[in-house]
Amino acid sequence: MGLPVVHFEIIGQEPERLRGYYGELFGWEFATGDAATEKVSAPGAYGFVGAASAGLNGGVGGGAGYERRVLFYVGVPDVEAALREAERLGGTRLLGPERAPGGDLVVGRFTDPEGNLIGVAGPA
């Protein structure tokens, strides 16, 4: 068995705005504090997302001067509905829904308001 994903990060120039976006889009709740190092996020600007809220531990942070970065897939019950909601909230659809060849998995990708690439995956 391979190693599991245990954490994700979404880092941008306006972390509070990003937390509002993902909170509304996916129903995530954040506990804001400091990241492990200021190289990850500005002090007090890192919002921790616990496994109970997001399915695995992660964080959304950054601040002025922090390079944007992210890549993960979120499991959703309806990929098309999730992509429509992402667009309604200011994101841009880039892919999907696309069905995996020969499988029951559907995927999609969008960028959030700051241009971070996000994936969504769900049943066909």
Judge if pTM exceeds 0.85: no
Domain boundaries, the chain: 1-69, 71-124
**What fold does the segment set 71-124 form as a domain?**
2,3-Dihydroxybiphenyl 1,2-Dioxygenase; domain 1 (3.10.180)
What does the alpha-carbon distance between residue 5 and residue 1 come to, in Å, rounded to a whole number?
12
What does the alpha-carbon distance between residue 102 and residue 111 come to, in Å, rounded to a whole number?
27
pLDDT level of residue 3 (50, 70, 90 thresholds): low
Which pLDDT belongs to residue 4? 73
Looking at the domain covering 1-69, what would its CATH class be? alpha beta
User: Please, what is the angle between helix 79-88 and helix 15-26, to 10°?
Assistant: 140
Alpha carbon distances (Å) from 35 to 40, 46, 55, 62: 6, 6, 20, 9
pLDDT tens-digit readout, 32-69: 998 878 888 999 999 999 877 778 888 999 999 998 98
